[in-house]
Structure 1
Amino acid sequence: MTRKKVLRHKAIIDELGSSPSMRVGELSVVLGVTKETIRRDLEELSEQNVISRTYGGAVLRQPSEAVLSERHKEKREERSAMAKVAVPLLKGAKTIMIGSGATTVHVAKRIAFEMNNITVITHSFGVATVLSLNPTIKVIMAPGEYYASEGAVHGAQAVRFLSELSADWAILGASGITSTGPSDALMEAADVYRSMIAQSECCMITADHTKFDRQAIAQFSHWSDIDFLITDKVPSEPLRKQLVAESVDIKLTTP
């Protein structure tokens, strides 16, 4: 590899480090080379597992998230506190869609103790299990391909099933939170989340501060489609400004 290419690859990585995702045209302008050159560079960096290609651009590759069973052992107090903030917002809801994840299971557990006579639609076995503590809650499981690492089902069948239903709320977690929107480390999960958002009147994202300014591989929404972000710390100023501009209500566990 020539020194010029090495320097160009480093420059691309530096650009993606400061801007979580960039398009080919933007990188071409910034680095002063053709789009064809940028595309070849991105393919090489992708083969080295340094970046992940997106439609028309690239993002830095993030370390894979730990499997759900491991994530459940972390940040229990923070997740419990977020659930305490989230559930009062659901007052009056009759039908709720809940995505998979460690934090959403905590929210579901609090729903089981504080809400009655509602219907919950989910693709997460963990969510369904904790809701079973309350016999007045009707749980509807989406069908699909089972992913053991997440304890949830995904795939076209799940998406199609959800597209035929509607809900008052969607409650979702996220692997990454950037100014462009929430994202997930699993593309199949992102497909399910898009469907839940599309079929719900309101949507909240529950994510702790370690997800801030981190871009996962699959963005599943723009902030214009999200009503609340439930979190444990104030986001960085650029991120906070974007959330405010998009009318996202930030709810903190500690004011």
Structure 2
Amino acid sequence: MRVSKAKRQSQILAELNVSPSLRIADLADRLAVSTETIRRDLDELTRQGQLNRTYGGAIRALGTEPSVTERHTLLVAERERIARATMEILRPANVIMIGSGSTTVHVARRLAVERTNITVITHSFGVATVLALNPTISTLIAPGTYDGTEGATVGVHTVGFLNEFFADAVVLGASGLTEEGPTDALIEAGAVYGAMLARSARSVLVADHSKFGRVFPSRWARWKQIDALVSDAAPNGQLQAAIDRHHVSVTVG
């Protein structure tokens, strides 16, 4: 039975949710059409921004993300629930590293309300600003090159500073979550998150449901490096399977 173009293209996109790259010949075999038909499908999906063409195939389209200022206006209630749920996980921690992002600022605000006499190490100006509401919290800000879209410092000086410390826990956000691990739109921010992860005894990833299945250039950790995921909804499908396989605890706020 001949499959319609719409169904065929939906199947191609479904395949990309399982595999980060596809080959034209393999798709033609699976969908029982010619390679020229698949090429036309891939060209059309590329024009729509659904994927990126490569020589002999296609890869997932790399997403773009609004600035951190714009993100602060999105999914506010969901991020507040995530922040509240994160507090119990962080209760034993006295030295905490916090990465940049809108959700991590919500976590920092809850820390300022609920905790006293802790130390926070961050590269995010937003995180540092909300922590200033609590004078008992000692905040160390990492130096580096300031990225205005992220409201944070990045670069070799930031990473070098972080390498001088150890933390009980790290709280990190993500632009997207894939079966391989968390990803970020800003490559240099991904390098900072990786440094924080390496210097912390426990890792907590905070991300709302809109991040599920989204792919960005910097894959800064694998699931085996993440201890806990806190979100406003439970992941499903291939993403859930990958998280379960690496025994990541999932908390839904």
Contact 2:17 2:213 in 1 (8 A): no
Question: How far did 1:27 drift?
Answer: 4.0
Paired residue secondary structure (2:79): helix
What secondary structure is seen at the aligned counterpart in 2 of 1:111?
Answer: helix
In structure 1, the partner of 2:81 is: 81
**8 Å contact kept, 1:21–1:215:** no
Which residues in structure 2 correspond to 1:2-81 (within 5 Å)? 14=13, 17-19=16-18, 21-22=20-21, 27=23, 30=26, 51=52, 59-81=59-81
Query: What TM-score results when the alignment is normalised by the length of structure 1?
Result: 0.80
d(CA) in 1 for partners of 2:176 and 2:245?
A: 19
Q: Take 1:27 and 1:15, find their aligned partners in 2: how far apart are those partners?
A: 14
Counterparts of 2:60 and 2:73, CA distance in 1? 27
When residues 163 and 20 of structure 1 are mapped into structure 2, their CA distance, relative to the original with a 3 A threshold, is farther
Structure 1 residue 29: Cα displacement: 7.9
Cα distance in 1 between the residues matched to 2:141 and 2:222: 26
8 Å Cα contact 1:172/1:204 also seen in 2: yes
RMSD (CA atoms): 2.6
Q: State the distance in 2 between where 1:90 and 1:228 align.
A: 11
Given that 1:119 and 1:139 are in contact with CA atoms closer than 8 Å, whether structure 2 keeps it comes out as yes
The match for 2:131 is 131
* Number of residue pairs the alignment of both structures matches: 225
Q: Tell me what 1:152 maps to.
A: 152
- Once residues 52 and 231 of structure 1 are traced to their aligned partners in structure 2, the CA distance between those partners, rounded to angstroms, is 32
Matched, 1:236 2:244: no
Unaligned runs of 5+ in 2: 1-8, 29-38
Percent identity over paired residues: 42
Aligned equivalents of 2:205 and 2:75: distance in 1? 17
Shift in alpha-carbon separation, 1:160–1:20, aligned structure 2, 3 A: farther
SS at match of 1:201: coil
* Structure 1 residue 250, shift from structure 2 partner: 0.4
The residue matched to 2:243 in structure 1 has which SS?
helix
Conserved in 1, the CA contact under 8 Å of 2:23 and 2:58? no
- Residue 83 of structure 1 aligns to which amino acid in structure 2? A
- Does the CA contact (< 8 Å) of 1:20 and 1:215 recur in 2? no
CA distance in 2, matches of 1:27, 1:151: 39
1:177 equivalent to 2:159? Answer: no
Once residues 105 and 15 of structure 1 are traced to their aligned partners in structure 2, the CA distance between those partners, rounded to angstroms, is 34
